[in-house]
Amino acid sequence: MPSSIPDIVISRLPVYLRALERLSQEGQEVTSSHELGKRLGISSAQIRKDLSHFGGFGKQGTGYRIAYLREQLRQVLNVERDWEVALIGAGDLGNAVARYRGFSNRGFHIACVFDSAPDKVGKSIGEFLILPLDNLHTVITERGIKIAMVAVPAEAAQSVADTLIAAGVRAILNYAPINLNVPDNVHVQYIDPVIHLQRMTYYLD
How near is the Cβ of 61 to a second copy at its closest, in Å?
Answer: 25
Smallest separation, CB 20 to a second copy (Å):
12
Using rule CB under 8 A, residue 99 touches a second copy: yes
Q: Which is nearer to a second copy, 19 or 136 (CB)?
A: 19
96 binds a second copy (CB under 8 A): yes
Per-residue interface string for the shown chain with a second copy, residues 154-183, x marking contact by CB under 8 A: x---------------xx-x---xxx-x--
* 83 binding a second copy? (CB under 8 A): yes
> Counting beta carbons within 10 angstroms of the beta carbon of residue 154, is it exposed (0 to 12), middle (13 to 18) or buried (19 or more)?
exposed
The span from the CA of 75 to the CA of 69, in Å, is 10
Contact stretch for a second copy (CB under 8 A) within 44-52, 87-95, 112-120, 129-137: 87-95
Identify which range of 47-55, 63-71, 99-107, 135-143 contacts a second copy by CB under 8 A.
Answer: 99-107
C-alpha separations of 2 from 20, 52, 76, 88, 158 in Å: 23, 12, 10, 33, 32
34 part of the interface to a second copy, by CB under 8 A:
no
Distances (CA, A) of 79 to 18, 82, 133, 175: 12, 7, 28, 22
User: Looking at 4, 60, 101, 127, which residue binds a second copy (CB under 8 A)?
Assistant: 101
Closest by Cα among 46, 78, 48, 71 to 61:
48
Query: Does 43 contact a second copy by CB under 8 A?
Result: no
Among 69, 85, 113, 130, binds a second copy (CB under 8 A): 85
Task: Candidates 30, 32, 34, 79: give the one binding a second copy (CB under 8 A).
Answer: 79
Binding site for a second copy (CB under 8 A): 10-11, 13-15, 17-19, 22, 38-41, 76-79, 83, 85, 92-93, 95-97, 99-103, 106, 108, 146-147, 149, 154, 170-171, 173, 177-179, 181, 187, 189-204
